[in-house]
Amino acid sequence: MTLKYVNETLNFDNIDIKELGQTIQTPYYLYSENIIARNIDEYISELKNTDTLICYSVKANSNLSILSLFAKKNLGFDIVSGGELQRVVRAGGDTSKVVFSGVGKTNEEIELAIKSKIYCFNVESQSELHRIDSIASSLNVQANISLRVNPEIDAKTHPYITTGLSENKFGISQDDVLSTFKTISDYKSLNICGIDYHIGSQITDIKPFTDSAKKVLSLVNELKKIKINLTHVDLGGGLGISYNNESPAKRGDYVRSLIEVFKGTNLKLIFEPGRSIVGDAGILVTKVIEKKNNPNGKNFIIVDAGMNDLIRPPLYGAYHKISSVKENTAPVALFDVVGPVCETADFFGKDRYITADIGDLVVIQDTGAYGFVLSSNYNSRPRIAEYLISNSNVTCIRGKETFSDILGDEERYLE
C-alpha cells in the first residue's frame, strides 16, 4: 500500500509517481486516504467496548479534506488555536468532540470555543482558569475543563518535541497540581471533568507512556480522596512512526497498554494522536533542478522544494528517507539533497546514496505530519499544492499559492 518500485518506477499507494508527473507540477504533497484509514482502524479496532474518544491532533496536518476524513468517521479533534477550531467546523467536524489544548489561549479564542460548544478546555495554569471562568460567566454558561499536568517523565525524544519535563513550559507541575484542583470549586462557571497530559512527540517506546499514565492514575486516586471525581483522562498524543527504520510500538499495542492502566476506573479515555495517523500517509514529490559538486568532494542534488516547504530536517535534525522515482540501476554516489533557499540549513538529507539526474523526480518520505502545516513563504516562495489519493484517484485538495497570495495586501500600503 505504501511505497514500492513497480517496473522500475516508484509507486505510492498504487499510484505511479512518474506518470503523475505528466499532469502535476512539482513540488507537491501527496497523501493517501487508504493509509490514513488503515492507521485510524489500528487505533479504533482496540477501542471496541471501551469508553474512549480519539481526538485527532489538527496541528499535524490541518488540510480541510484530511480533517473531513476524520469528521466522517465521527472522530473528535484536538485543537490549539481558534484557527484550527474554524478549520474543524468548515470540515464538518462535531465541535462537541473538540478538546482545546495549548499554553496560550487568547480571550477571543476562549470565547469562540465556548460559543462553539466544544467538549473541554485543557487548562495549563491558574490564571487561565481565571480567564476561562470569567469569560464563561459573562456568557452565562458553564465551561468544561480538565487540568493539564506535567508528569515530569523523560520521553527520550528530541528536546524540541519533549513536553513532559519539569523545565518545559507545558502543564501544571506535580507540586502545584493538587492545590490547583482544590481551587476549582471556587470558580462558579467551571465544570471540572478531567485531567490531561501530553509528554512529547515521536516517542517510539511504550514505557514513557505507561509510566506517565500510572503517575496520572495515582493523582486521580488522590483527587478521589478529596472528593474530586473526574470523568475523563486525556492521554495526549505522541506515538512515533518509523522514519529511519526505528521500531515504534504498534498503534494497537500502545492503545491496549494504556487501556490496561486505567481499567476498572470508569474513566473515559481520550487519545490525541497526530503523527501516528498521518505521518506515513504523505510524501513530498520534488524535482532535481541542478547537480553540483564542491572541490572538497561534496556532491549536491538541488531540488525544487525547499526548507520553506518542509522544515523538519533543519528544525529538528529530522531524518526522512529520500528515494529517486526512477529505480537506481546506475552506481549510486553520496549526495546532500538540498533546496534552492538561501540558507545553509536548507537541506532534506545529508550524505545519501541516491541516483537522480536533472529533471528526475525525487520523493521525500513520511511527510504527512508536520510537513505542509509548518511551511512558509520564505524567499517569496509560494506554498505548494496538496493532493489526496482516494479510491485510486488523485485529486487536488489545495492549489499551489499564486504570487498575489504571497503579496497579501502589501501593495495597499505602498506610498
Q: Which residues are known to be catalytic?
A: 342
| Least Cβ distance, residue 239 to ligand PLP (angstroms) | 6
The Cα 366–Cα 335 span in angstroms is 20
Which alpha helices (DSSP H) does 251-311 contain, by range? 251-262, 275-278
- Beta carbon nearer to ligand PLP, 101 or 286: 101
Instruction: Choose the stretch contacting ligand PLP; rule: CB under 6 A; options: 89-97, 130-138, 230-238, 250-258.
Output: 230-238
Q: Single out the residue of 61, 276, 365, 375 in contact with ligand PLP (rule: CB under 6 A).
A: 276
- The closest of 67, 100, 112, 72 to 372, measured between CA atoms, is 67
Angle at alpha carbon of residue 333, lines to 330 and 336, rounded to 5°: 130
Instruction: Single out the segment in contact with ligand PLP by CB under 6 A; choices: 34-42, 174-182, 184-192, 272-280.
Output: 272-280
Does the footprint of ligand PLP cover residue 241 (CB under 6 A)?
no
Is the Cβ of residue 62 or residue 286 nearer to ligand PLP in the bound state? 62
The yes or no reply on residue 151 touching ligand PLP (CB under 6 A) is: no
Asked if residue 201 binds ligand PLP (CB under 6 A), the reply is: yes
Measure the CA dihedral 276/277/279/285, to 10°: 160
Q: Which residues share a beta bridge with 301? A: 291, 337
Answer for which of 93, 208, 236, 248 binds ligand PLP (CB under 6 A) is 236
* Closer of 80 and 338 to ligand PLP (Cβ): 80
Q: Which is nearer to ligand PLP, 280 or 360 (CB)?
A: 280
Q: Among the candidate windows 10-18, 44-52, 234-242, 244-252, which touches ligand PLP by CB under 6 A?
A: 234-242
Among 151, 274, 282, 313, binds ligand PLP (CB under 6 A): 274
Distance of alpha carbon 401 from alpha carbon 386, whole angstroms:
11
Nearest one of 257, 303, 251 to 281, comparing CA atoms:
251
Beta carbon nearer to ligand PLP, 60 or 118: 60
Sorted by sequence, the CB contacts under 8 Å of residue 103 that are 6+ apart come out as 124, 125, 169, 170
Question: Cβ(150)–Cβ(164) under 8 Å?
Answer: yes
Of 272, 304, 366, 386, the residue at the interface with ligand PLP (CB under 6 A) is 272
Total site size for ligand PLP, rule CB under 6 A: 16
Given a contact cutoff of 8 angstroms between Cβ atoms, the answer to whether 296 and 365 are in contact is no
Q: Which of 20, 60, 123, 361 binds ligand PLP (CB under 6 A)?
A: 60
Using CB under 6 A, which residues numbered 67 to 126 contact ligand PLP?
78, 101
237 near ligand PLP, judged by CB under 6 A: yes
Q: Which is nearer to ligand PLP, 57 or 324 (CB)?
A: 57
Q: What cell was used for 231? A: 470523568
Residue 407 C-beta: closest distance to ligand PLP, Å:
32
Output the CA–CA distances (angstroms, integers) from residue 73 to 13, 54, 69, 386, in the order listed.
Answer: 21, 10, 7, 22
If one asks whether residue 162 binds ligand PLP (CB under 6 A), the answer comes out as no
Dihedral over Cα of 198, 203, 208, 210: its sign: positive
Burial 34-58 (b: 16+ CB within 10 A, else e): bbbebbbebbbebbeeeebbbbbbb
Q: Which residues bind ligand PLP (CB under 6 A)?
A: 57, 60, 78, 101, 198, 201, 236-239, 272-276, 369
